Chains A and B, each alone.
Chain A
Amino acid sequence: NAGVTQTPKFRVLKTGQSMTLLCAQDMNHEYMYWYRQDPGMGLRLIHYSVGEGTTAKGEVPDGYNVSRLKKQNFLLGLESAAPSQTSVYFCASSPQRGRTDTDTQYFGPGTRLTVL
């Protein structure tokens, strides 16, 4: 049971390049999330998904796209990277909402992205 995994762990891009971050979870969770973490700003939600084939915008969605073609995977894409997207990106997943501790979010190890 690997939990939530993220690929890659580190990446350096040049301005204007594109890339895709992959998040995978093996806990059969319905919900998945992408966050970015910047110094002094905590974690901010980029996009999220409440089920296979569904996605929705979070707090800071501009410049990013996502897809959830399979329940276990959630992809985050940068079509034209900008230096402002230099950040640490976290994926998380959680079970469907309920009045138990099963609505806790479980996080991947993060991806450090630098855009030059």
Chain B
Amino acid sequence: QKEVEQNSGPLSVPEGAIASLNCTYSDRGSQSFFWYRQYSGKSPELIMFIYSNGDKEDGRFTAQLNKASQYVSLLIRDSQPSDSATYLCAVTAQAGTALIFGKGTTLSVSS
């Protein structure tokens, strides 16, 4: 059974701080990695995807991938109250036959 693990939180950070969200996965052959944000009562929306080892930056968001450690993370710089949401990590299974979602980490940014 392929698994994606996330700390459920809540992760609480003050406004302006860096929020660090972590995800580990069990399928060593996974190739595609996604971070989705889900506000309460809404559908998931893509924040970033990453395919290669290293860092990928998009505005205040940085995704980090380490395939050797089977670890992917999302950093949110200058956190805002509007960033308060549940963040879902999703990993493609090696055979390309599934996208496995973690259960999500709830982030709370206080002003």
User: Do A and B bind?
Assistant: no
Q: Which residues of B contact A (CB under 8 A)?
A: none
